[in-house]
């Protein structure tokens, strides 16, 4: 009896071709955001024929992953083999970048956010030389890959600083000079205010940067710098605070402005959900109140970057405590320096902060 040429999938070890098609990013025949799925592109076409439009309207913060360890330098900087820029994709439209600790001891963080009409780079790191700190090359690569996945040949980029005065966050800006489709927020204070539409309402007003259905709020927060601003992302519910509030040594330049800025953030967080406060650096250890000294390029026991929004309330209380006084004040997650050197030390350990000896790093 002649054997049938018809393949029987139930009996065959080889499935029909149609059944083994693989869509690594989801099935393009489905909707991008089907019912019940929020905050994520559940299916991106492998070869998008037109620009993919993402729905940034969401109930609650967009999911993302911070469960990783940051590069922390080496005891001998010349032997370090970590990438010059560490890139972590928090979610499909949000990236966190860190400068190598051995390239610059402050190891600042920068943030790259995407919307339907463009991208925003918050801060630019502490090193101008692209050979040592290839920020533009890294950002360009991320934008290119993101644009290919979204079917976009051009992605306009806006670069904004939490402070144009902060040399640990403004040095990489020169790498973007002359870059096409790029807007750099001007550094002079008065020009910067007008750019954000805050010329007549600084510091009480709020500006905005529209990335296309993802509108970033710009909150004036002078205190560590005259031109300080913070940014709020309603998609991830992140509050980007630069040098104003971060897990490290906070050097207050104007204590009255500093208290007022923290109170402004406190009021903002009361009416807008904040998942994490994301600062510009990490200087604290995971041991409460202990921190790394300046110029250290090996930090294996760092505290995590993200800070609870409850720490805004704590910062307000203790900023008021140091106002009008030349002193340093140690808290578990940050240290305030008002009118004293950032190298100031104290023999008096504050009450309520566990005094734990940190491990020695060999």
CA distance 282 to 262: 19
Identity of the highest mean pLDDT range in 23-32, 41-50, 259-268 = 259-268
pLDDT for 346 equals 86
Nearest to residue 358, comparing CAs of 297, 295, 303?
A: 303
Mean pLDDT of 217-246: 97
Q: Check whether 123 has a pLDDT greater than 50.
A: yes
**Are the C-beta atoms of residues 273 and 244 closer than 8 Å to each other?**
no
Instruction: Classify residue 332 by its DSSP letter.
Output: S
Instruction: Name the CA radius of gyration of the chain, rounded.
Output: 24
pLDDT digits (tens, 9 = 90+) for 335-355: 999 999 999 988 889 988 999
Q: Which domains does the chain have, with CATH numbers?
A: 77-338 (3.60.15.10)
Nearest to residue 281, comparing CAs of 243, 336, 310?
A: 243
Mean pLDDT of 318-344: 96
Give helix then strand counts, H and E, for the chain: 4, 15
pLDDT digits (tens, 9 = 90+) for 183-211: 999 989 999 999 999 999 999 999 999 99
Three-state SS for 139? helix
Q: Check whether 26 has a pLDDT greater than 90.
A: no
- Reading phi first (left if > 0) and then psi (alpha if -120 to 50, else beta), residue 213 is in left
């Amino acid at each position: 009896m002649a054997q049938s040429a018809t393949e029987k999938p139930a009996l065959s070890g080889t499935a029909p071709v149609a059944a083994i098609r693989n869509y690594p990013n989801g099935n393009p025949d489905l909707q991008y955001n089907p019912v019940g799925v929020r905050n994520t592109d559940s299916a991106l076409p492998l070869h998008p024929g037109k620009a993919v439009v993402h729905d940034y309207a969401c109930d609650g913060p967009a999911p993302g992953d911070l469960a990783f360890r940051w590069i922390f330098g080496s005891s001998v900087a010349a032997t370090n083999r970590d990438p010059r820029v560490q890139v972590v994709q928090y979610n499909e439209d949000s990236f966190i970048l860190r400068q190598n600790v051995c390239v610059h001891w402050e190891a600042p963080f920068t943030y790259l956010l995407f919307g339907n009409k463009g991208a925003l780079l918050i801060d630019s790191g502490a090193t101008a030389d692209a050979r040592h700190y290839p920020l533009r090359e890294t950002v360009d690569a991320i934008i290119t890959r993101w644009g290919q996945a979204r079917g976009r040949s051009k992605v306009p980029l806006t670069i904004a600083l939490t402070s144009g005065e902060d040399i640990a966050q403004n040095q990489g800006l020169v790498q973007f000079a002359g870059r096409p489709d790029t807007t750099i927020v001007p550094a002079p204070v008065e020009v910067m205010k007008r750019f954000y539409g805050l010329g007549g309402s600084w510091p009480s007003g709020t500006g905005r940067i529209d990335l296309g259905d993802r509108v970033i709020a710009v909150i004036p927060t002078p205190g560590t710098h005259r031109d300080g601003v913070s940014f709020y992302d309603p998609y991830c519910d992140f509050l980007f605070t630069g040098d104003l509030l971060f897990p490290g040594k906070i050097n207050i330049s104007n204590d009255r402005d500093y208290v007022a800025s923290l109170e402004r953030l406190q009021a903002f967080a009361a009416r807008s959900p904040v998942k994490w406060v994301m600062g510009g650096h990490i200087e604290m250890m995971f041991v409460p109140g202990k921190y790394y000294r300046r110029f250290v390029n090996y930090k294996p026991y760092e505290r995590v970057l993200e800070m609870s929004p409850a720490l805004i309330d704590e910062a307000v209380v203790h900023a008021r405590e140091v106002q009008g006084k030349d002193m340093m004040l140690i808290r578990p997650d940050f240290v305030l320096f008002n009118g004293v050197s950032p190298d100031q030390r104290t023999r008096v350990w504050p009450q309520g902060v566990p005094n734990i000896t940190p491990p020695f790093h060999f």
